[in-house]
Amino acid sequence: MDIFLQQIINGLVLGSIYALVALGYTMVYGILGLINFAHGEVVMIGALVSYSVMMVLVPSGLPPVLLALISVLVAAPVCMALAWAIERYAYRPLRHAPKLTPLISAIGVSILLQNLAMMIWGRGYHAFPDILPAIHFDIGGAQITLLQTVTIGLAAATMGILAWMIQRTSLGQAMRATAENPAIAELMGIPVNRIITLTFIIGAALAALAGLMVGANYSVAHYYMGFMLGLKAFTAAVLGGIGNITGAMLGGLLLGLIESLGAGYIEDLTGGILGSHYQDIFAFLVLIGVLVFRPGGLMGERVSERA
């Protein structure tokens, strides 16, 4: 039983990170109908900037928690500025181009950022410092570290604030209006361009936080880390229903749990025919299953309207 509980904890931590990144994909898709493939790279930049800041500050002897806080306060504006630049120069000029064009532009930005990071931080793997003391809690035989608790808690809090902002504030209202119909929203006096930029920037702030979490939880950062993470988070967004905020959170958590439990139990379930190397297949099988019965994803309805 403790093993089962441990896999649930592993899955929840992984899922919280997926959910944070998936939000960035889903918010942009909801408003622009664009899959921002460069988002995974923004997470990577967030992780590497946090890493660099911490490395610079380690000799100062500040407590690690404070280091993490400072690093995210530096990484978030860097990522936000980056997202602003990406939107302004790679996507906005293509706003009225056929849908495939900005997608290709997004892939281009992704390659550009990867190579840029490779030039700045090199090809090596960087050991991410421990940001929290290694305290373990014992829950029914399963181990949960302080870091994991904080990761899950922080992700939940961030997502809660985001949901509140979108449903309750005038900015959220403007975002929803822009998503509904940009042309009409503009006629109603909503500064559509500024709302779109803000959407990118909010997504980037979440990405910076996710970058720090990935680095801290998996204790490694490198220039290629955004690619697979981005792909998984995108999958989570589709699973939950792309364009839907609650869907992205749900999809992220679900994907994390599926991967974790899949790797842990696939061998027992198939009587040893499939091993843990089918972990990813398991996740994608669930995705296909969901999409066959609910083409819009678990919570999505908007996709069919848009298509």
Partner 1 sequence: MTLFARHALSLSAIALASLSLTACGKKEVPPVAGNEVIITIGHAAPLTGPQAHLGKDNENGAVMAIDELNSRGISIDGKKAKFVLVSEDDQADPKAGTTVAQKFVDRKVNGVIGHLNSGTTIPASRIYSEAGIPQISGSATNPTYTQQGFKTTFRVFANDIHQGQALAQFATQSLKAKTIAIVDDRTAYGQGLADEFKKAAEAAGAKVVAQEFTTDKATDFKAILTKIKASNPDILFFSAMDAQGGPALKHARELGLKATFLIGDGGCTPEFIKLAGNAADGQYCSLPGVPLEKMPGGTVFKDKYQKRYNQQIQLYAPYVYDAVLVMADAMQRANSAEPAKYLPEVGKSQYQGVTAKVVFDAKGDLAAPAVSIYQDKGGNWSYVETVGAAAAAK
| Closer to partner 1 by Cβ: residue 175 or 254 | 254
Query: What is the end-to-end Cα distance of the chain in Å, rounded?
Result: 45
Instruction: Give backbone dihedrals phi and psi of 142, rounded to 5 degrees, phi first.
Output: -95, 150
| Closer to partner 1 by Cβ: residue 203 or 226 | 226
The tokens of 129 are what?
């410092």
Q: Label residue 123 exposed, middle or buried (CB < 10 Å: 0-12, 13-18, 19+).
A: exposed
CB of 71 to partner 1, least distance (A): 18
| Closer to partner 1 by Cβ: residue 65 or 228 | 228
| Closer to partner 1 by Cβ: residue 99 or 123 | 123
CB of 83 to partner 1, least distance (A): 20
Q: Do residues 221 and 53 make contact, with C-beta atoms less than 8 angstroms apart?
A: no
Euclidean distance between CA atoms 15 and 155, whole angstroms: 10
Contact residues for partner 1 (CB under 8 A)?
A: 3, 6-7, 10-11, 13-14, 107, 110-111, 114, 123-125, 127, 130, 134, 136, 143, 145, 214, 218-220, 222, 224-225, 227-228, 259-264, 275-277, 279
CB of 293 to partner 1, least distance (A): 26
Euclidean distance between CA atoms 158 and 131, whole angstroms: 19
Q: Do residues 166 and 175 make contact, with C-beta atoms less than 8 angstroms apart?
A: yes
CB of 17 to partner 1, least distance (A): 9
Q: Do residues 41 and 19 make contact, with C-beta atoms less than 8 angstroms apart?
A: no
CB of 127 to partner 1, least distance (A): 5
CB of 242 to partner 1, least distance (A): 22
| Closer to partner 1 by Cβ: residue 25 or 37 | 37
| Closer to partner 1 by Cβ: residue 9 or 303 | 9
Euclidean distance between CA atoms 184 and 88, whole angstroms: 22
Euclidean distance between CA atoms 66 and 58, whole angstroms: 11
Angle (nearest 5°) at CA 272 between 270 and 8: 65
The tokens of 56 are what?
């610079």
| Closer to partner 1 by Cβ: residue 100 or 134 | 134
CB of 176 to partner 1, least distance (A): 34
CB of 302 to partner 1, least distance (A): 30
DSSP state of 98: -
As a whole number of Å, the CA-based R_g of the chain is 19
Euclidean distance between CA atoms 289 and 115, whole angstroms: 36
Euclidean distance between CA atoms 95 and 27, whole angstroms: 16
| Closer to partner 1 by Cβ: residue 123 or 168 | 123
